[in-house]
Amino acid sequence: MGHYTGPKAKVNRRLGTMVFETNGSRKAFERRPDAMPGMHARRGKLSGYGLSLLEKQKIKKFYGLSERQLRRLYAEASRRPGNTGEYLLGLCEMRLDNIIRRAGFTLTRPQSRQGVGHGHFVVNGMKCDVASRILKPGDVIYVKPRVELQKLYHDITAGDSGFVAPFLSVDVAKLTIRVERPPMPEEFSLPVDVGRVVELLSR
């Protein structure tokens, strides 16, 4: 899929949440969290459908999903008993690129996707370059044993790359990640009204 490469701060402000984590977009959002992008931009009251579209855009931008990928995840979530919205976000959280980000091995999700696409990571002993792969409890990810890659990711984990998600166990010295369990709803990294998104996708 073609990933968004435009001004990320504008997207954060338009969606009202920090879906992009780069330093520049973070600082711009912190300075003007309630301001729409554009000199004279105004937002009127959105309809219910407009609010649902806004929530769907948050999920797509945050996790780097295309419309087709999101609908495929929704179809899988809707086949399971229980709360479809929670299952949908749970599947997003279990994507390989998101797991790497939440383990603190990268600073942003696009950086995770790039690393996976370039073959930097091994899953259960096998090279994997598919960022959208859905992982399961017990899966183990580690950085390929190449000197330059080991140095790159050691440098990132030594800095401020964020907290490790509680459903993961990380060995920073060995650069390994183990998925211990599925995430709980309170552990999801994106604040979003997923019920609106489910309602929209079910039409």
| Sign of the dihedral defined by the CA atoms of residues 4, 153, 29, 189, in that order | positive
Cβ atoms within 10 Å of 140's Cβ, excluding its own: 15
Q: Cα(50)–Cα(68) distance, rounded to whole angstroms?
A: 20
Order of all β-strands in the sheet with 121-123: 126-127, 121-123, 140-143, 176-179, 168-171
Q: What is the pTM of this model?
A: 0.83
Give the range of the structural domain holding residue 123, as residue numbers without chain letter: 96-182
N residues, the chain: 203
CATH number for the domain that contains residue 111:
3.10.290.10
- pLDDT tens string for the chain (203 positions)? 456 666 666 666 667 776 666 655 555 555 555 555 554 455 568 888 999 999 999 999 999 999 999 999 999 999 999 999 999 999 999 999 999 999 999 999 999 999 999 999 999 999 999 999 999 999 999 999 999 999 999 999 987 666 899 999 999 999 999 999 999 999 999 999 999 999 999 98
Instruction: Render 45-65 in DSSP notation, one character per residue.
Output: PPPHHHHHHHHHHHHHHHHT-
Q: How many domains does the chain divide into?
A: 1
Domain assignment present for 47: no
Question: What pairing do the DSSP bridges indicate for beta strands 176-179 and 126-127?
Answer: unpaired
